[in-house]
Amino acid sequence: MRILVVGSGGREHTLVWKLSKSKQVDKLFAAPGNAGIASMCKCMPIKVDDLNGLADFAEKQKIDLTVVGPELPLTLGIVDQFESRGLRIFGPSRKASEIEGSKAFAKEFMKKYHIPTASYKIFENYEEAVEYVRDNDVPLAIKADGLAAGKGAMICLNSKESLKALDSMMVRKVFGAAGSKVIIESILEGEEVSVMAFTDGKTLVPMVSAQDHKRIYDDGLGPNTGGMGAFAPTKVVNDRMMKAIVNQILEPTVEGLRQEGRLFKGILYAGLMVTEIGPKVIEFNCRFGDPETQAVIPLLKNDLAEIFLSIIEEELDLEDIEWREESAVCVVLASEGYPEKPVTGVKIDGLKNVRKENCYLFHAGTTRLKNGQLITSGGRVLGIVATHRELQGAIKRAYSAIKRVSFKGMQYRKDIGQVVGGVKSSFF
């Protein structure tokens, strides 16, 4: 089987790595890929939003299965386009992907199907939004409606901060058209977790839970990022909590989307807050999370290609999905200046030494020069992943490996995996 993976981040490198182990896979391609992915398969310089270019390539190369990593092509309708050409592709349709593409749609959907989430109001008029926050001088979460690379949510402790967020999104358009409509939510308190699930629109199988670290600095300080690290599983989600998440959130969401004529086939990601009264939804994504995938997929025992095919054929109920009895930790190494203005083009050293620590190394923002030198090409550069039968062992192994890697301005959090069952967060 010939497989094309769409994307260029650590998530996609992880998927390529896992798919390369499948007995069903004969050849792998990636578009556009990165330096790490290029060491495992042929990378093509096709942008993720070039749907025609990707479909043309799949047809020409007789690709048997295309796997989509990022949200942008999914929300643009890549699945619909491929299927209209008779090409097999893994991921939800454009209509189903709206669960991530529009936070306003997601909130209204949750309200309709009684899926627990924070109370909210939706605004398209800037003056009306301003009036609302002035009348509610309390902590609020303000979100851009559309896609914002995981950075479109701001926690505001008072009306002054809320007004600043509204100005940023609706007036200065820092997120472009994504901020033309905003959602203003009450703050959820508790422990934040991520639960991804395989689903063919009928059957749903949750993966092991994970916990993402969104803020750039230790102790959850600083601005939001796309994610500075993750670990899996989290003790916050025991068997009883996972059952509640599946029964109260994941299954009602899949069933509700089916009733709406939006059959969801792919990965349903739920960003959750485990509160004192149970789990509540922060957000939904229509694909694998990043960096959660880097921590979760190494724990999967099954052939990932077989799972993807069973979902496409709506036969997920025939799969017996199993997980390793271990913990995994992913620590992201980021460029100087990330997330605001990352410095790129910086020489990277020491990667060969990471293997000595029995770790996985997943590339994100990397590229290789003609002379073979590896350099940084994005904000999040590398993900160092370690597994161990105990969480603390995985943490120790990951941070030991990091000492072997270096590039000028390299920054990373020192507390990934060390917030289990004790640190409370507000929303992010």
Is there a domain that residue 29 lies in? Answer: yes
Residues 168 and 256 in one domain: no
Residues 77 and 138 in one domain: no
Residues 178 and 282 in one domain: no
**Helix (H/G/I), strand (E/B), else coil: 427:** coil
pLDDT tens string, the chain, 428 residues long: the values are 999 999 999 999 999 999 999 999 999 999 999 999 999 999 999 999 999 999 999 999 999 999 999 999 999 999 999 999 999 999 999 999 999 999 999 999 999 999 999 999 999 999 999 999 999 888 999 999 999 877 788 889 999 999 999 999 999 999 999 999 999 999 999 999 999 999 999 999 999 999 999 999 999 899 889 999 999 999 999 999 999 999 999 999 999 999 999 999 999 999 999 999 999 999 999 999 999 999 999 999 999 999 999 999 999 999 999 999 999 999 999 999 999 999 999 999 999 888 777 799 999 999 999 999 999 999 999 999 999 999 999 999 999 999 999 999 999 999 999 864 333 333 33
- Among the listed residues 295, 293, 268, the one whose alpha carbon sits nearest the alpha carbon of residue 283: 268
Residue span of the structural domain in which 142 resides: 119-186
Angle CA 171–172–174, to nearest 5: 125
Query: Which residues fall within 8 angstroms of residue 203, CB to CB, at 6 or more apart?
Result: 316, 317
- Measure the CA–CA gap between 193 and 195, rounded to whole angstroms: 7
Contact 262, 104 (CB under 8 A): no
**Helix (H/G/I), strand (E/B), else coil: 185:** strand
**In this structure, which amino acid lies at residue 329?**
V
Domain boundary among 129, 164, 186: 186
Residues 215 and 286 in one domain: yes
Residues 224 and 292 in one domain: yes
Beta bridge partners of 366: 376
Is there a domain that residue 151 lies in? Answer: yes
Distances (CA, A) of 109 to 126, 167, 285, 356: 23, 27, 14, 48
Write 354-359 long-range contacts (CB < 8 A, 24+).
354/384, 354/401, 354/404, 354/405, 356/404, 357/386, 357/397, 357/400, 357/401, 357/404, 358/386, 358/397, 359/384, 359/385, 359/386, 359/397, 359/398, 359/401
**Helix (H/G/I), strand (E/B), else coil: 90:** strand
Query: What's the CATH code of the domain at 153?
Result: 3.30.1490.20
Residues 153 and 61 in one domain: no
Domain boundary among 289, 309, 324: 324
Kindly state the DSSP code that residue 411 receives in the 8-state scheme: B
Number of domains in the chain: 3
Residues 242 and 224 in one domain: yes
Domain boundary among 324, 353, 370: 324
Is there a domain that residue 127 lies in? Answer: yes
**C-alpha atoms less than 13 angstroms from C-alpha of 384 in its C-beta half-sphere:** 32
Is there a domain that residue 103 lies in? Answer: no
- Measure the CA–CA gap between 24 and 404, rounded to whole angstroms: 35
- Measure the CA–CA gap between 421 and 417, rounded to whole angstroms: 11
Residues 244 and 304 in one domain: yes
**C-alpha atoms less than 13 angstroms from C-alpha of 105 in its C-beta half-sphere:** 18
Is there a domain that residue 421 lies in? Answer: no
Angle CA 289–294–298, to nearest 5: 125
- pLDDT tens for each residue of 26-59: 999 999 999 999 999 999 999 999 999 999 999 9
Looking up tokens 């060491």 gives: 39
- pLDDT tens for each residue of 133-154: 999 888 999 999 999 877 788 8
Query: What's the CATH code of the domain at 311?
Result: 3.30.470.20
Give the per-residue pLDDT at 187: 92
Residues 235 and 297 in one domain: yes
